Structure 1
Amino acid sequence: MTRPDEMLTEASGDALTVRKAIAGKQEGCVEEELWLKWIKETDYQAREQLVRLYLPYVRIVAATYYAKRLHDEIEFAEYYQLASMGMLEALDRFDPSVGVQFKTFAARRMHGAILNGLEKLTEKQQQIAARKRLQTERRESVKLPQAIEGESEGIGGRGKPGGRAPEQLLRYVADVGLGLALSWMLEGTSMIEAPETSEAIPFYRSAEVKQLRQRIASLIEGLPQQQRTVIRYHYQQEIPFEEIASMLGLTRGRIAQIHKQALMQLREALQEKPIADVVL
Protein backbone atom coordinates (compact mmCIF):
# COMPACT_ATOMS: atom_id res chain seq x y z
CA MET A 1 0.00 0.00 0.00
CA THR A 2 1.33 3.45 -0.96
CA ARG A 3 2.13 5.68 1.98
CA PRO A 4 0.73 9.24 2.14
CA ASP A 5 4.20 10.82 1.84
CA GLU A 6 4.91 8.79 -1.31
CA MET A 7 1.57 9.83 -2.78
CA LEU A 8 2.44 13.48 -2.06
CA THR A 9 5.83 13.13 -3.77
CA GLU A 10 4.27 11.52 -6.84
CA ALA A 11 1.62 14.23 -7.00
CA SER A 12 4.26 16.95 -6.76
CA GLY A 13 6.29 15.34 -9.54
CA ASP A 14 3.25 15.06 -11.76
CA ALA A 15 2.36 18.70 -11.13
CA LEU A 16 5.89 19.80 -12.07
CA THR A 17 5.73 17.76 -15.26
CA VAL A 18 2.37 19.27 -16.13
CA ARG A 19 3.66 22.80 -15.50
CA LYS A 20 6.67 22.17 -17.74
CA ALA A 21 4.43 20.80 -20.45
CA ILE A 22 2.13 23.82 -20.21
CA ALA A 23 5.12 26.19 -20.29
CA GLY A 24 6.52 24.38 -23.32
CA LYS A 25 3.17 24.53 -25.06
CA GLN A 26 2.82 28.21 -24.26
CA GLU A 27 6.34 28.88 -25.54
CA GLY A 28 5.51 26.97 -28.71
CA CYS A 29 2.38 29.05 -29.17
CA VAL A 30 4.31 32.25 -28.64
CA GLU A 31 6.94 31.12 -31.15
CA GLU A 32 4.26 30.24 -33.68
CA GLU A 33 2.55 33.59 -33.24
CA LEU A 34 5.82 35.44 -33.71
CA TRP A 35 6.49 33.56 -36.92
CA LEU A 36 3.03 34.39 -38.25
CA LYS A 37 3.56 38.08 -37.50
CA TRP A 38 6.96 38.06 -39.17
CA ILE A 39 6.00 36.02 -42.26
CA LYS A 40 2.51 37.38 -42.86
CA GLU A 41 2.83 40.95 -41.59
CA THR A 42 6.59 41.59 -41.86
CA ASP A 43 6.51 42.69 -38.23
CA TYR A 44 10.12 43.59 -37.39
CA GLN A 45 9.35 43.68 -33.69
CA ALA A 46 8.32 40.04 -33.96
CA ARG A 47 11.56 39.36 -35.82
CA GLU A 48 13.58 40.91 -33.00
CA GLN A 49 11.74 38.74 -30.49
CA LEU A 50 12.49 35.66 -32.58
CA VAL A 51 16.16 36.61 -32.64
CA ARG A 52 16.23 36.91 -28.85
CA LEU A 53 14.36 33.62 -28.58
CA TYR A 54 16.98 31.73 -30.61
CA LEU A 55 20.16 33.39 -29.31
CA PRO A 56 20.60 30.81 -26.51
CA TYR A 57 20.53 28.09 -29.18
CA VAL A 58 23.07 30.06 -31.23
CA ARG A 59 25.38 30.12 -28.22
CA ILE A 60 25.04 26.35 -27.81
CA VAL A 61 25.95 25.74 -31.46
CA ALA A 62 28.90 28.14 -31.27
CA ALA A 63 30.13 26.49 -28.06
CA THR A 64 29.90 23.06 -29.70
CA TYR A 65 32.20 24.11 -32.55
CA TYR A 66 34.48 26.06 -30.22
CA ALA A 67 34.96 22.95 -28.06
CA LYS A 68 36.24 21.10 -31.15
CA ARG A 69 38.79 23.79 -32.06
CA LEU A 70 42.33 22.73 -32.89
CA HIS A 71 43.99 25.93 -31.63
CA ASP A 72 43.21 29.05 -29.60
CA GLU A 73 44.01 31.64 -32.26
CA ILE A 74 40.30 32.38 -32.86
CA GLU A 75 38.27 33.44 -29.83
CA PHE A 76 34.80 32.19 -28.88
CA ALA A 77 33.33 35.59 -29.74
CA GLU A 78 34.20 34.96 -33.39
CA TYR A 79 32.43 31.59 -33.34
CA TYR A 80 29.40 33.19 -31.71
CA GLN A 81 29.30 36.01 -34.25
CA LEU A 82 29.54 33.59 -37.19
CA ALA A 83 26.79 31.40 -35.74
CA SER A 84 24.62 34.49 -35.19
CA MET A 85 25.08 35.51 -38.83
CA GLY A 86 24.02 32.03 -39.92
CA MET A 87 20.95 32.18 -37.69
CA LEU A 88 19.93 35.60 -39.03
CA GLU A 89 20.28 34.36 -42.60
CA ALA A 90 18.16 31.34 -41.75
CA LEU A 91 15.57 33.56 -40.08
CA ASP A 92 15.02 35.47 -43.31
CA ARG A 93 14.81 32.31 -45.43
CA PHE A 94 12.76 30.04 -43.20
CA ASP A 95 9.27 28.94 -44.27
CA PRO A 96 7.26 27.45 -41.36
CA SER A 97 4.77 25.89 -43.78
CA VAL A 98 7.38 23.37 -44.93
CA GLY A 99 7.02 21.54 -41.63
CA VAL A 100 10.67 21.61 -40.56
CA GLN A 101 11.61 23.06 -37.18
CA PHE A 102 13.52 26.31 -37.36
CA LYS A 103 16.39 25.04 -35.21
CA THR A 104 16.95 22.15 -37.61
CA PHE A 105 16.88 24.52 -40.58
CA ALA A 106 19.10 27.09 -38.87
CA ALA A 107 21.66 24.51 -37.74
CA ARG A 108 22.69 23.91 -41.36
CA ARG A 109 23.06 27.62 -42.02
CA MET A 110 25.10 28.12 -38.86
CA HIS A 111 27.28 25.15 -39.76
CA GLY A 112 28.11 26.67 -43.14
CA ALA A 113 28.58 30.18 -41.74
CA ILE A 114 31.01 28.96 -39.06
CA LEU A 115 33.10 26.79 -41.39
CA ASN A 116 33.31 29.43 -44.14
CA GLY A 117 34.06 32.17 -41.63
CA LEU A 118 36.78 30.16 -39.89
CA GLU A 119 38.40 29.41 -43.25
CA LYS A 120 38.56 33.12 -44.08
CA LEU A 121 39.82 34.07 -40.62
CA THR A 122 42.50 31.37 -40.73
CA GLU A 123 43.58 32.41 -44.23
CA LYS A 124 43.81 36.05 -43.13
CA GLN A 125 45.93 35.11 -40.11
CA GLN A 126 48.20 33.02 -42.30
CA GLN A 127 48.65 35.93 -44.69
CA ILE A 128 49.47 38.31 -41.84
CA ALA A 129 52.01 35.83 -40.47
CA ALA A 130 53.49 35.40 -43.95
CA ARG A 131 53.78 39.16 -44.37
CA LYS A 132 55.60 39.44 -41.02
CA ARG A 133 58.03 36.68 -42.02
CA LEU A 134 58.74 38.39 -45.33
CA GLN A 135 59.37 41.72 -43.62
CA THR A 136 61.76 40.01 -41.21
CA GLU A 137 63.61 38.42 -44.12
CA ARG A 138 63.96 41.78 -45.84
CA ARG A 139 65.41 43.39 -42.74
CA GLU A 140 67.76 40.49 -42.09
CA SER A 141 69.03 40.43 -45.68
CA VAL A 142 70.27 44.02 -45.54
CA LYS A 143 71.80 43.88 -42.07
CA LEU A 144 75.38 45.04 -41.82
CA PRO A 145 77.99 42.32 -41.88
CA GLN A 146 79.77 41.66 -38.64
CA ALA A 147 81.99 44.66 -39.35
CA ILE A 148 80.17 46.84 -36.85
CA GLU A 149 79.89 44.23 -34.11
CA GLY A 150 82.99 42.12 -34.66
CA GLU A 151 85.38 43.92 -37.00
CA SER A 152 84.85 47.18 -35.14
CA GLU A 153 87.21 45.66 -32.58
CA GLY A 154 90.05 46.24 -35.01
CA ILE A 155 88.92 49.77 -35.80
CA GLY A 156 88.14 51.38 -32.54
CA GLY A 157 87.80 48.59 -30.01
CA ARG A 158 84.92 46.17 -29.37
CA GLY A 159 81.66 47.93 -28.74
CA LYS A 160 83.16 51.28 -29.78
CA PRO A 161 82.43 51.85 -33.46
CA GLY A 162 84.93 54.09 -35.12
CA GLY A 163 86.40 54.89 -38.55
CA ARG A 164 83.83 53.86 -41.13
CA ALA A 165 81.11 52.76 -38.69
CA PRO A 166 78.96 55.91 -39.12
CA GLU A 167 79.06 55.49 -42.91
CA GLN A 168 78.12 51.85 -42.55
CA LEU A 169 75.23 52.78 -40.31
CA LEU A 170 73.97 55.31 -42.84
CA ARG A 171 74.26 52.73 -45.59
CA TYR A 172 72.35 50.27 -43.44
CA VAL A 173 69.56 52.78 -42.84
CA ALA A 174 69.39 53.54 -46.55
CA ASP A 175 69.17 49.85 -47.48
CA VAL A 176 66.50 49.09 -44.90
CA GLY A 177 64.57 52.21 -45.87
CA LEU A 178 64.56 51.23 -49.53
CA GLY A 179 63.45 47.70 -48.69
CA LEU A 180 60.49 48.97 -46.69
CA ALA A 181 59.65 51.57 -49.32
CA LEU A 182 59.84 48.99 -52.10
CA SER A 183 57.55 46.72 -50.13
CA TRP A 184 55.01 49.52 -49.74
CA MET A 185 55.26 50.71 -53.34
CA LEU A 186 54.64 47.21 -54.71
CA GLU A 187 52.05 46.07 -52.19
CA GLY A 188 49.29 46.81 -54.68
CA THR A 189 50.32 43.62 -56.49
CA SER A 190 50.96 41.52 -53.37
CA MET A 191 48.89 38.70 -51.92
CA ILE A 192 47.46 40.91 -49.17
CA GLU A 193 45.33 43.90 -50.02
CA ALA A 194 46.55 47.32 -48.96
CA PRO A 195 45.13 48.55 -45.64
CA GLU A 196 41.86 50.47 -45.88
CA THR A 197 43.48 53.35 -44.04
CA SER A 198 45.96 53.75 -46.85
CA GLU A 199 43.18 54.07 -49.40
CA ALA A 200 41.72 56.92 -47.37
CA ILE A 201 44.93 58.95 -47.67
CA PRO A 202 44.95 61.20 -50.75
CA PHE A 203 48.77 60.95 -50.99
CA TYR A 204 48.51 57.22 -51.48
CA ARG A 205 46.56 57.76 -54.71
CA SER A 206 48.47 60.84 -55.84
CA ALA A 207 50.11 61.22 -59.25
CA GLU A 208 53.55 61.47 -57.63
CA VAL A 209 53.22 58.06 -56.03
CA LYS A 210 52.01 56.52 -59.29
CA GLN A 211 55.02 58.02 -61.07
CA LEU A 212 57.35 56.68 -58.41
CA ARG A 213 55.83 53.23 -58.72
CA GLN A 214 56.31 53.33 -62.49
CA ARG A 215 59.89 54.49 -62.01
CA ILE A 216 60.67 51.68 -59.59
CA ALA A 217 59.04 49.14 -61.92
CA SER A 218 61.19 50.46 -64.76
CA LEU A 219 64.34 50.25 -62.64
CA ILE A 220 63.51 46.68 -61.66
CA GLU A 221 63.30 45.79 -65.36
CA GLY A 222 66.85 47.11 -65.75
CA LEU A 223 68.32 44.89 -63.02
CA PRO A 224 70.41 41.82 -63.87
CA GLN A 225 68.25 38.76 -64.43
CA GLN A 226 68.91 37.09 -61.07
CA GLN A 227 68.27 40.27 -59.11
CA ARG A 228 65.15 41.04 -61.14
CA THR A 229 63.81 37.54 -60.53
CA VAL A 230 64.41 37.69 -56.78
CA ILE A 231 62.78 41.12 -56.45
CA ARG A 232 59.76 40.09 -58.49
CA TYR A 233 59.28 36.83 -56.64
CA HIS A 234 59.79 38.31 -53.21
CA TYR A 235 57.92 41.62 -53.45
CA GLN A 236 55.33 41.11 -56.15
CA GLN A 237 54.48 37.45 -55.48
CA GLU A 238 55.33 37.43 -51.76
CA ILE A 239 57.52 34.31 -52.02
CA PRO A 240 59.91 33.75 -49.07
CA PHE A 241 63.67 33.53 -49.65
CA GLU A 242 63.74 29.83 -48.82
CA GLU A 243 61.22 28.99 -51.56
CA ILE A 244 62.97 31.25 -54.07
CA ALA A 245 66.23 29.46 -53.27
CA SER A 246 64.58 26.12 -53.97
CA MET A 247 63.10 27.40 -57.24
CA LEU A 248 66.42 28.79 -58.48
CA GLY A 249 68.62 26.00 -57.11
CA LEU A 250 70.53 28.36 -54.82
CA THR A 251 71.03 28.66 -51.07
CA ARG A 252 68.89 30.93 -48.93
CA GLY A 253 71.98 32.93 -48.02
CA ARG A 254 72.75 33.50 -51.70
CA ILE A 255 69.17 34.73 -52.30
CA ALA A 256 69.52 37.17 -49.40
CA GLN A 257 72.78 38.41 -50.91
CA ILE A 258 71.20 38.89 -54.35
CA HIS A 259 68.30 40.71 -52.69
CA LYS A 260 70.66 43.10 -50.94
CA GLN A 261 72.62 43.75 -54.13
CA ALA A 262 69.39 44.54 -55.97
CA LEU A 263 68.35 47.03 -53.28
CA MET A 264 71.73 48.73 -53.48
CA GLN A 265 71.45 49.12 -57.25
CA LEU A 266 67.92 50.47 -56.98
CA ARG A 267 68.99 52.93 -54.29
CA GLU A 268 71.89 54.20 -56.39
CA ALA A 269 69.66 54.55 -59.46
CA LEU A 270 67.06 56.52 -57.52
CA GLN A 271 69.72 58.77 -56.01
CA GLU A 272 71.03 59.60 -59.48
CA LYS A 273 67.59 60.86 -60.53
CA PRO A 274 65.58 61.53 -57.36
CA ILE A 275 61.83 61.99 -57.62
CA ALA A 276 60.10 64.77 -55.66
CA ASP A 277 61.24 64.81 -52.04
CA VAL A 278 61.75 61.08 -51.59
CA VAL A 279 64.85 60.57 -49.47
CA LEU A 280 66.55 57.19 -49.33
Structure 2
Amino acid sequence: MQRPASQGAAGAATAPVLADEPALWKAARRGGEAARARLIEAYLPFVRMLAAKMFAGRIDHDLEFNEYLQFGTIGLIEAVDRFDPGMGNQFKTFAGHRINGAILDGIGQMSEKRTQVNTRRRLQLERGESLRDALDARTGDLFQQLADVAVGLALGYVLDDPVVYYHEDATVADQHYTRVEMTQLRSKMQALVGNLPEKERMVIKYHYLNQVPFAVIAQTMGLTKGRVSQIHNKALALLRRAANAVSACDMVW
Protein backbone atom coordinates (compact mmCIF):
# COMPACT_ATOMS: atom_id res chain seq x y z
CA MET A 1 0.00 0.00 0.00
CA GLN A 2 1.22 3.48 -0.87
CA ARG A 3 2.11 6.01 1.84
CA PRO A 4 0.23 9.30 2.08
CA ALA A 5 2.01 12.41 0.81
CA SER A 6 3.09 13.44 4.30
CA GLN A 7 5.00 10.21 4.81
CA GLY A 8 6.32 9.09 1.45
CA ALA A 9 7.67 10.24 -1.87
CA ALA A 10 5.70 12.79 -3.88
CA GLY A 11 4.56 10.28 -6.45
CA ALA A 12 3.49 7.67 -3.91
CA ALA A 13 0.30 9.47 -2.89
CA THR A 14 -1.03 9.61 -6.46
CA ALA A 15 -0.34 5.99 -7.37
CA PRO A 16 -3.45 3.78 -7.25
CA VAL A 17 -3.69 1.18 -4.51
CA LEU A 18 -5.07 -1.31 -7.05
CA ALA A 19 -3.80 -1.72 -10.59
CA ASP A 20 -7.38 -1.62 -11.90
CA GLU A 21 -8.55 1.13 -9.53
CA PRO A 22 -9.84 3.55 -12.23
CA ALA A 23 -12.00 0.78 -13.69
CA LEU A 24 -13.23 -0.15 -10.22
CA TRP A 25 -14.34 3.43 -9.56
CA LYS A 26 -16.30 3.47 -12.81
CA ALA A 27 -17.96 0.17 -11.94
CA ALA A 28 -18.70 1.31 -8.38
CA ARG A 29 -20.34 4.52 -9.59
CA ARG A 30 -22.57 2.39 -11.83
CA GLY A 31 -23.73 0.47 -8.77
CA GLY A 32 -21.27 -2.41 -8.88
CA GLU A 33 -21.24 -3.88 -5.38
CA ALA A 34 -18.20 -6.10 -6.01
CA ALA A 35 -16.13 -3.11 -7.19
CA ARG A 36 -17.26 -1.06 -4.18
CA ALA A 37 -16.29 -3.86 -1.81
CA ARG A 38 -12.84 -4.19 -3.39
CA LEU A 39 -12.20 -0.46 -3.05
CA ILE A 40 -13.21 -0.42 0.61
CA GLU A 41 -11.07 -3.46 1.36
CA ALA A 42 -8.04 -1.98 -0.41
CA TYR A 43 -8.13 1.17 1.73
CA LEU A 44 -8.68 -0.47 5.13
CA PRO A 45 -4.92 -0.31 5.91
CA PHE A 46 -5.02 3.42 5.10
CA VAL A 47 -7.69 3.85 7.78
CA ARG A 48 -5.55 1.98 10.31
CA MET A 49 -2.59 4.24 9.56
CA LEU A 50 -4.61 7.45 10.00
CA ALA A 51 -6.33 6.15 13.13
CA ALA A 52 -2.97 5.19 14.65
CA LYS A 53 -1.54 8.63 13.90
CA MET A 54 -4.48 10.35 15.61
CA PHE A 55 -4.34 7.91 18.52
CA ALA A 56 -0.63 8.59 19.02
CA GLY A 57 -1.30 12.33 19.28
CA ARG A 58 -4.36 12.06 21.48
CA ILE A 59 -4.87 14.26 24.52
CA ASP A 60 -7.85 12.41 25.98
CA HIS A 61 -6.69 8.93 27.01
CA ASP A 62 -10.21 7.74 27.80
CA LEU A 63 -10.83 6.00 24.45
CA GLU A 64 -9.18 2.89 23.06
CA PHE A 65 -7.42 2.59 19.70
CA ASN A 66 -10.12 0.17 18.54
CA GLU A 67 -12.67 2.95 18.83
CA TYR A 68 -10.56 5.29 16.69
CA LEU A 69 -10.28 2.49 14.14
CA GLN A 70 -14.01 1.82 14.08
CA PHE A 71 -14.89 5.50 13.57
CA GLY A 72 -12.30 5.80 10.80
CA THR A 73 -13.60 2.73 8.96
CA ILE A 74 -17.11 4.15 8.93
CA GLY A 75 -15.63 7.36 7.50
CA LEU A 76 -13.90 5.36 4.76
CA ILE A 77 -17.14 3.64 3.76
CA GLU A 78 -18.89 7.01 3.49
CA ALA A 79 -15.98 8.41 1.46
CA VAL A 80 -16.09 5.52 -1.04
CA ASP A 81 -19.82 6.07 -1.51
CA ARG A 82 -19.44 9.84 -2.05
CA PHE A 83 -16.22 10.06 -4.09
CA ASP A 84 -16.53 11.28 -7.67
CA PRO A 85 -13.39 10.35 -9.64
CA GLY A 86 -14.50 12.66 -12.44
CA MET A 87 -13.70 15.71 -10.30
CA GLY A 88 -9.97 15.05 -10.66
CA ASN A 89 -9.20 14.69 -6.96
CA GLN A 90 -7.12 11.89 -5.51
CA PHE A 91 -9.17 9.52 -3.38
CA LYS A 92 -6.67 9.47 -0.50
CA THR A 93 -6.90 13.25 -0.20
CA PHE A 94 -10.69 13.13 -0.34
CA ALA A 95 -10.98 10.20 2.06
CA GLY A 96 -8.31 11.38 4.49
CA HIS A 97 -10.33 14.44 5.51
CA ARG A 98 -13.47 12.37 5.97
CA ILE A 99 -11.75 9.59 7.89
CA ASN A 100 -10.14 12.06 10.28
CA GLY A 101 -13.43 13.94 10.59
CA ALA A 102 -15.32 10.74 11.36
CA ILE A 103 -12.81 9.90 14.08
CA LEU A 104 -13.09 13.37 15.62
CA ASP A 105 -16.90 13.22 15.49
CA GLY A 106 -16.87 9.78 17.06
CA ILE A 107 -14.53 10.89 19.81
CA GLY A 108 -16.82 13.80 20.62
CA GLN A 109 -19.83 11.53 20.87
CA MET A 110 -18.13 8.75 22.83
CA SER A 111 -16.49 11.05 25.35
CA GLU A 112 -20.00 11.78 26.67
CA LYS A 113 -20.98 8.13 26.88
CA ARG A 114 -18.23 6.35 28.76
CA THR A 115 -20.76 4.61 31.00
CA GLN A 116 -21.54 2.22 28.18
CA VAL A 117 -19.49 -0.89 27.43
CA ASN A 118 -16.36 -0.06 25.44
CA THR A 119 -15.89 -1.06 21.82
CA ARG A 120 -13.84 -4.17 22.49
CA ARG A 121 -16.36 -5.50 24.98
CA ARG A 122 -19.29 -4.78 22.67
CA LEU A 123 -17.67 -6.62 19.78
CA GLN A 124 -16.78 -9.59 21.98
CA LEU A 125 -20.37 -9.81 23.17
CA GLU A 126 -21.60 -9.64 19.58
CA ARG A 127 -19.28 -12.46 18.52
CA GLY A 128 -20.39 -14.56 21.47
CA GLU A 129 -24.04 -14.11 20.52
CA SER A 130 -23.28 -15.13 16.94
CA LEU A 131 -21.48 -18.29 18.04
CA ARG A 132 -24.17 -19.14 20.58
CA ASP A 133 -26.86 -18.82 17.89
CA ALA A 134 -24.92 -21.28 15.75
CA LEU A 135 -24.83 -23.78 18.59
CA ASP A 136 -28.51 -23.27 19.38
CA ALA A 137 -29.35 -24.16 15.79
CA ARG A 138 -28.11 -27.69 16.58
CA THR A 139 -27.33 -28.49 12.95
CA GLY A 140 -24.40 -30.61 11.88
CA ASP A 141 -21.80 -32.22 14.08
CA LEU A 142 -21.69 -30.78 17.63
CA PHE A 143 -17.93 -31.34 17.89
CA GLN A 144 -17.35 -29.30 14.73
CA GLN A 145 -19.57 -26.53 16.08
CA LEU A 146 -17.55 -26.43 19.29
CA ALA A 147 -14.36 -26.35 17.22
CA ASP A 148 -15.74 -23.35 15.32
CA VAL A 149 -16.41 -21.61 18.62
CA ALA A 150 -12.77 -22.21 19.58
CA VAL A 151 -11.64 -20.74 16.25
CA GLY A 152 -13.76 -17.67 16.88
CA LEU A 153 -12.21 -17.11 20.29
CA ALA A 154 -8.70 -17.67 18.96
CA LEU A 155 -9.28 -15.46 15.94
CA GLY A 156 -10.44 -12.66 18.18
CA TYR A 157 -7.34 -13.03 20.32
CA VAL A 158 -4.93 -13.17 17.37
CA LEU A 159 -6.40 -10.56 15.01
CA ASP A 160 -8.08 -8.27 17.52
CA ASP A 161 -4.83 -7.54 19.34
CA PRO A 162 -4.56 -3.93 20.56
CA VAL A 163 -1.26 -3.34 18.79
CA VAL A 164 -1.01 0.18 17.37
CA TYR A 165 0.61 0.52 13.94
CA TYR A 166 2.06 3.98 13.47
CA HIS A 167 2.53 3.23 9.78
CA GLU A 168 1.63 0.25 7.67
CA ASP A 169 4.80 -1.81 8.16
CA ALA A 170 5.56 -0.92 11.77
CA THR A 171 5.06 -2.97 14.91
CA VAL A 172 5.21 -2.01 18.53
CA ALA A 173 8.75 -2.30 19.85
CA ASP A 174 8.89 -5.35 22.07
CA GLN A 175 11.84 -7.66 22.62
CA HIS A 176 9.82 -10.48 24.14
CA TYR A 177 9.73 -13.72 22.22
CA THR A 178 5.98 -13.96 22.74
CA ARG A 179 5.50 -10.78 20.71
CA VAL A 180 7.49 -12.28 17.82
CA GLU A 181 5.41 -15.45 17.98
CA MET A 182 2.19 -13.45 18.02
CA THR A 183 3.31 -11.38 15.02
CA GLN A 184 4.11 -14.53 13.05
CA LEU A 185 0.84 -16.15 14.01
CA ARG A 186 -1.13 -13.05 13.08
CA SER A 187 0.52 -13.03 9.65
CA LYS A 188 -0.46 -16.66 9.10
CA MET A 189 -4.03 -16.00 10.13
CA GLN A 190 -4.26 -12.92 7.90
CA ALA A 191 -3.06 -15.05 4.98
CA LEU A 192 -5.81 -17.58 5.69
CA VAL A 193 -8.37 -14.79 5.89
CA GLY A 194 -7.17 -13.47 2.53
CA ASN A 195 -8.07 -16.80 0.91
CA LEU A 196 -11.68 -16.80 2.12
CA PRO A 197 -14.57 -16.21 -0.33
CA GLU A 198 -15.38 -12.54 -0.82
CA LYS A 199 -18.27 -12.12 1.62
CA GLU A 200 -16.64 -14.18 4.35
CA ARG A 201 -13.34 -12.31 3.89
CA MET A 202 -15.03 -8.93 4.08
CA VAL A 203 -16.97 -9.77 7.26
CA ILE A 204 -13.82 -11.01 9.02
CA LYS A 205 -11.76 -8.01 7.88
CA TYR A 206 -14.42 -5.48 8.82
CA HIS A 207 -15.15 -7.03 12.19
CA TYR A 208 -11.79 -8.30 13.46
CA LEU A 209 -9.27 -6.05 11.74
CA ASN A 210 -11.22 -2.78 11.71
CA GLN A 211 -13.59 -3.26 14.66
CA VAL A 212 -16.82 -2.71 12.73
CA PRO A 213 -19.98 -4.06 14.44
CA PHE A 214 -22.27 -6.52 12.64
CA ALA A 215 -25.03 -3.91 12.28
CA VAL A 216 -22.75 -1.52 10.38
CA ILE A 217 -21.36 -4.38 8.27
CA ALA A 218 -24.93 -5.33 7.40
CA GLN A 219 -25.69 -1.79 6.21
CA THR A 220 -22.48 -1.63 4.21
CA MET A 221 -23.05 -4.97 2.47
CA GLY A 222 -26.80 -4.55 2.03
CA LEU A 223 -27.59 -7.55 4.23
CA THR A 224 -29.45 -8.20 7.46
CA LYS A 225 -27.54 -8.42 10.73
CA GLY A 226 -28.63 -12.05 11.02
CA ARG A 227 -27.19 -12.83 7.59
CA VAL A 228 -23.88 -11.21 8.56
CA SER A 229 -23.83 -13.41 11.66
CA GLN A 230 -24.32 -16.48 9.46
CA ILE A 231 -21.49 -15.42 7.14
CA HIS A 232 -19.29 -14.83 10.19
CA ASN A 233 -19.91 -18.36 11.45
CA LYS A 234 -19.32 -19.86 8.01
CA ALA A 235 -16.03 -17.96 7.79
CA LEU A 236 -14.90 -19.40 11.12
CA ALA A 237 -15.67 -22.92 9.90
CA LEU A 238 -13.69 -22.31 6.70
CA LEU A 239 -10.77 -20.89 8.67
CA ARG A 240 -10.75 -23.91 10.97
CA ARG A 241 -10.56 -26.29 8.02
CA ALA A 242 -7.91 -24.16 6.30
CA ALA A 243 -5.81 -23.95 9.44
CA ASN A 244 -5.95 -27.73 9.87
CA ALA A 245 -4.82 -28.15 6.27
CA VAL A 246 -1.77 -25.92 6.64
CA SER A 247 1.04 -27.85 8.27
CA ALA A 248 2.95 -24.63 8.97
CA CYS A 249 0.23 -23.40 11.31
CA ASP A 250 1.39 -23.95 14.88
CA MET A 251 -2.01 -23.69 16.57
CA VAL A 252 -4.21 -26.60 17.56
CA TRP A 253 -7.84 -25.91 16.86
Q: TM-score category by the smaller chain? A: 0.3 to 0.5
Between structure 1 and structure 2, the one with the greater Rg is: 1
Q: Structure 1 length normalisation: TM-score?
A: 0.42
Compute the TM-score of the two structures, normalised by the length of structure 2.
0.46
Greater fraction helix: 1
